Amino acid sequence: MKRDVAIVGAGYVGLPLAKTFAEAGKTVVLVDVDAERVAQLNRGESYIEDVSSEALERLVEEGRVAATTDYDELRDADAILIALPTPLSRQREPDLAIMLSATEEIAKRLRPGHLVVLESTTYPGTTREKLLPLLERGSGLTAGQDFHLAFSPERVDPGNSQWSTKSVTKVVGGVNETSTEAASALYSAAIDNVHPVSSPEAAELTKLLENIFRSVNIALVNELAQLCDRMDIDVWEVVEAAATKPFGFMSFKPGPGLGGHCIPIDPFYLTWKAREYGFYTEFIELAGKVNESMPYFCRSLVSQALNHARQRSLSGSRILVLGVAYKPDISDMRESPAVKLIGLLEGAGASVSYHDPYVPEFSENGIVMRSVALEPAEYDCVVVVTDHSSVDYDRLVEEAQLVVDLRNATGANGKHSDKVWRL
């Protein structure tokens, strides 16, 4: 069946992208290996919070969105967008295996006139050095001549209701001018603003710069939080005050560590690539080190709070972790620092439970847990790890014996009180 756009990978990136194109009047097919997901999509059921089932159902009924496990459906689409996972290996090196094997499948179905765009986050050079030869070899066609090839980073922020795939500017870089033009024309039909750059490498590095910028600035404020603890200064008060400056300052908040699919992972794609040039990306490494130390620092904080406020040791204490998703008001657990902190608290002999209105259960890094009722009085200490907005923090402070607030969710005054210890 003829379609305007095929999207390979129907996840956090692929599904909102499909909705955006479909709402702009395009016909879209999502190609995914997960047969259960495909069946769900074809029933109009969304598993991504940013796409409501109501909206998806309408688009499926109108024939504007369909899903399939069959790569052959790529043949009849005008454009093929790749939104597949690009994780790190256990040795923290780029793992492009999923994307490359999918590219081989795409190559077999490539025909003259096709536009292929990679959306997955990756190191500069991936599109030209990895995708291009695979596509050319598998199809016998020439990139930039017989088919168009470009990179365009996805910038979706799951759970952000202010900015959507449609309203966030799309950066596009093709392997030659006609590829950039073809990709820009496609995105312009559905996305408010398109920003072309001179090459796929520039577009690939743009995405990494954005995520490295966040990682480094979060690390800066996390380091400051550790210093503030020693100096007995309220880091939240300082950040809030600095944010009153109308220029030259951008507010980043401290916390128990980095989470999510992008910021803890993507910077290391560049670190890896830089080594090929004998270059060491020290800002990235240092930021990683500081951010990865935060769960350990937070464990000490919980221990200190129990000692001072309750004359108890961490070992043997009952602790409730409040919020385990990696950020507020979503269910995404990927790389959540809560998992690390729970492991550390349990390792120190505490008995840990968690409550999260968005995450009924999880199984991560060998930790399998189920959310319990929010009964703060039952625990020696409640640790606020993720500040979901549906939680009544006044009630929490009233009922809990002790709260360690790693997100400034309680809005408590002063750094420590008998009841509330803040990061």
Number of residues that make up the chain = 423
Annotate 137-175 with b (16+ C-beta within 10 A) or e (fewer).
ebbebebbebbbbbbbbbbbbbeeeeebbbebebbbbbb
DSSP letter at 377 equals G
The residue nearest ligand NAD at its CB is 11
Tell me the angle at which helices 132-139 and 97-108 cross, rounded to the nearest 10 degrees: 30
Scan for tokens 């005050």, then name that residue.
241
From the CB of 32, what's the least distance to ligand NAD, in Å? 4
Q: Which of 228, 262, 298, 381 is catalytic?
A: 262
Answer for the pair 76, 2: CB distance below 8 angstroms, yes or no.
Answer: yes
Q: Where do runs of H (alpha helix) occur along 311-370?
A: 337-347
Q: Two tokens at 154? A: 């996805």
Q: CB count, 10 Å around CB of 347?
A: 10
- Shortest approach of ligand NAD to residue 30 CB, angstroms? 9
Active site residue 262: yes
**Shortest CB 264 distance to ligand NAD, Å:** 11
Helical (H) or strand (E) element with 261: none
The residue among 4 and 119 lying less far from ligand NAD, judged by its C-beta, is: 119
Q: Give the nearest distance from C-beta 130 to ligand NAD in angstroms.
A: 13
CA of 22: how far to CAs of 26, 85, 149, 166, 271, in Å?
5, 23, 22, 11, 37
Cβ at position 96, least distance to ligand NAD in Å: 10
Structure tokens at 136: 């050319």
Identity of the residue, 262 or 322, whose beta carbon is nearer to ligand NAD in the bound complex: 262
| Residues engaged in binding ligand NAD (CB under 6 A) | 8-14, 31-34, 37, 83-86, 98, 101-102, 119-121, 154, 156, 158, 261-262
Catalytic annotation, residues: 262
